[in-house]
Chain A
Amino acid sequence: MRSLSAVKATSIKGERAEGDNRTRRDNMTDPAPRLGREVIAMRVAREFRDGEVVNLGIGIPTLCSDFVPPGVQLMYHSESGLLNCGPLADEGHGDVDLINAGGQFLSPIPGMAYFDSAEAFAMIRGGHVDVTALGALQVSETGDLANWFLPARGVGNVGGAMDLAVGAKRVIVAMEHNGRDKTPKIVSECSFPLTGQGCVGLIVTDIAVIEVLPEGGGLRLIEHAPGWDAASIQSHTGAKLAVSPDLAEITLA
């Protein structure tokens, strides 16, 4: 097992520097540094099993492909009409006919398959995608997901998020635990318009890993970031967390 302290020194720096400049509207203090986006992605990547079909959303989830454990081979699915792909293309070597759902240029690998949008989403709704990792604005204690529409803006991009929310066999949310003003993003009920109902199975944040229990069973804290205990995580969360008897520090295999 790889020690978290080995990666956090490099991965957290940029995030903290940015965070220190943010204005905060309350006095909730962080007992320890928060994990960087790359570390969240590393923890999400630990969930992927050898041979799974994986769809990665825009943002932190896209980073997951850099941290897939050795010996795990995945089939990446993209709404851009692609099964299997290489890593992001080198700067200046992008091919406009080989992009991911975020419009980034990819490199080719042997064994790719191309298809149109109707088929790309038939695959998703049809239950052929094993797991998707998505960003979120809010997740509720029953696994409702809100990630496409900010009421203050009045217009939003739904993209493929609603299809993935209902279609992927497993939905993992990768996000910061709190908004820039420290508002909890894990809440008893979403106040933002929903992407899907009861669809989220696991939440990985910059301070915790939380399971959404089936049948409205609520949330269970299973892992914490270094220096964060259950009480400090609960105080930054807008829904009640049950604490796993096996609560452990986040590890990155």
Chain B
Amino acid sequence: MPIDKTVNNFAEAVSDISDGSVVMIGGFGGAGGMPHLLMLALRDQGSRNLTIVGNTAGIAAPTGFGWPEGVEPIDHAVLIENGQVTKVIASFPVSGSVSRPNAFETGFRAGEIELEVVPQGTLAERMRAAGAGIAAFYTPTAAGTMLAEGKESRMFGGREYVLEEALHADFALIRARTADTLGNLIYKGTSRTFNPPMAAAARVTIAEVDEIVEPGGIDPERVDTPGIYIQRIVVRPPVLEGGLELP
């Protein structure tokens, strides 16, 4: 039987994300590379006590970061505002100013959401390690800072390195431009960011894509993320119900 990882709709794609799951959310923080419709589907699905892992914790609403003028942002905040998130792992969790708190910062201050801040490169490498079967690695990043407190460190060549552990997830919600039915992916521009390392780090990776093509529709020389890392693909409509256009 031919392999086809296509899922019919977004609700079905996220239906088995259970309470307490660790969920990675792709992208950098702006509109590009973010799985907007998977996030909305997870909000509607309603699972709770989630740990979400991403570069930001949803900063688009107060900052406009990477969003076109006049388009209502959809990001991690839709899950946080819905009370589904109890822990965030991110490098850039909040807006640039205390006077413009995002939904996460409000929840953090209220003691409802726990935060683990991870340097951006360490965050990506912890995912890469998880996907590559590496339990932990030494990095010079954060040596001598409060983000290294409580972690093992070791000198190599006269320089201090910090031991960082692999970061696994139950699910990764990622975004790509094109998939074939086997799950091979191509991204667009700067919208790769965390999507490839997350795809490899999660037990189940669900890719939201603009188009799905038959095998052979993607040049194998140009595959960005090989389909081995992808369990489900779901195509997003160019225009949502009600005429809302996504960026």
Q: Return the contact of B190 from the options A97, A118, A122 (Cβ within 8 A).
A: A97
In this assembly, does A197 line the interface, its C-beta being within 8 Å of a C-beta of chain B?
Answer: yes
- For chain B, residues 113 to 146, give those with C-beta under 8 angstroms from any C-beta of chain A: 115, 117-125, 127-128, 139-146
Please state if B108 and A155 are interface contacts (CB–CB under 8 Å). Answer: yes
In this complex, how many residues of chain A approach chain B with their Cβ under 8 Å: the count is: 45
Q: Determine, out of B5-13, B59-67, B211-219, B226-234, the stretch whose residues face the partner at the interface.
A: B59-67
Select one of A58, A95, A105, A116 contacting B197, CB under 8 A: A116
Asked whether, in the complex, the Cβ of B120 is within 8 Å of the Cβ of A116, the reply is no
Name the residue of chain A whose CB is nearest to the CB of B191.
A97
- Per DSSP, are chain A's interface residues mostly helix, strand or loop, or mixed? loop
Contact, CB under 8 Å: A160 / B195: no
Cα(A108)–Cα(B109), bound, Å: 40
Interface residues of A in 183-213 (CB under 8 A from B): 193-197
Complex CA–CA separation, A163 to B55 (angstroms): 14
Q: Which residue of A lies closest to B131 (CB)?
A: A118
Contact A114–B187 (Cβ < 8 Å): yes
CB distance from B33 to the nearest CB of A (A): 7
Known: A99-B66, A160-B119, A163-B122. A117 touches B143 (CB 8 A): no
A83 CB to nearest B CB, Å: 11
Chain B interface mostly: loop
Give Cα A166–Cα B156 distance, bound, in whole angstroms.
14
| A196-B64 Cα distance, complex, nearest whole Å | 29
Complex Cα gap A142–B68 (Å): 42
Chain B residues in 8 Å Cβ range of A120: 121, 124, 193
How distant is A67 from chain B, measured CB to nearest CB, in Å?
A: 23
A108 to B, closest residue via Cβ: B189
- Known A-B contacts A124-B121, A157-B92, A158-B91; the reply to A114 vs B189 at CB < 8 A is yes
Tell me which of B69, B119, B189, B196 contacts A163 (CB under 8 A). B119
Best-buried of B68, B96, B140, B192 by chain A (most CB within 10 Å)? B192
Q: Is the CB of B92 within 8 A of A114?
A: no
Specify which chain B residues have a CB less than 8 angstroms from the CB of A58 in the assembled complex.
Answer: 96
The A-contacting residues of B in range 96-117, CB under 8 angstroms, are 96, 98, 105, 108-109, 115, 117
| A28 interfacial by beta-carbon distance below 8 Å | no
Partner of B193, one of A117, A154, A157: A117
When C-beta atoms are compared, the residue in chain A nearest to B189 turns out to be A97
Which residue among A125, A160, A162, A193 has the maximum number of chain B CB atoms within 10 Å of its CB?
A: A162
Please, what's the 1-or-0 string for A145-184, where 1 marks a CB less than 8 Å from any CB in chain B? 0000100011111111111001100000000000000000
Which residue in A78, A149, A166 is a CB contact (below 8 Å) of B141?
Answer: A166
* 25 CB < 8 A contacts A-B: A81-B28, A81-B193, A92-B69, A94-B68, A96-B31, A96-B32, A96-B67, A99-B28, A99-B30, A116-B124, A116-B196, A116-B197, A116-B224, A117-B28, A117-B121, A118-B197, A121-B120, A155-B94, A157-B92, A157-B96, A158-B147, A162-B122, A163-B119, A163-B121, A166-B141
Chain B residues with a Cβ under 8 A of chain A: 28-33, 55, 63-69, 91-94, 96, 98, 105, 108-109, 115, 117-125, 127-128, 139-147, 187-197, 224, 247
What would 10 more interface pairs be, CB under 8 Å, given A97-B189, A122-B121, A197-B144?
A: A81-B190, A115-B192, A116-B193, A117-B55, A117-B193, A153-B98, A160-B120, A162-B121, A166-B141, A196-B145
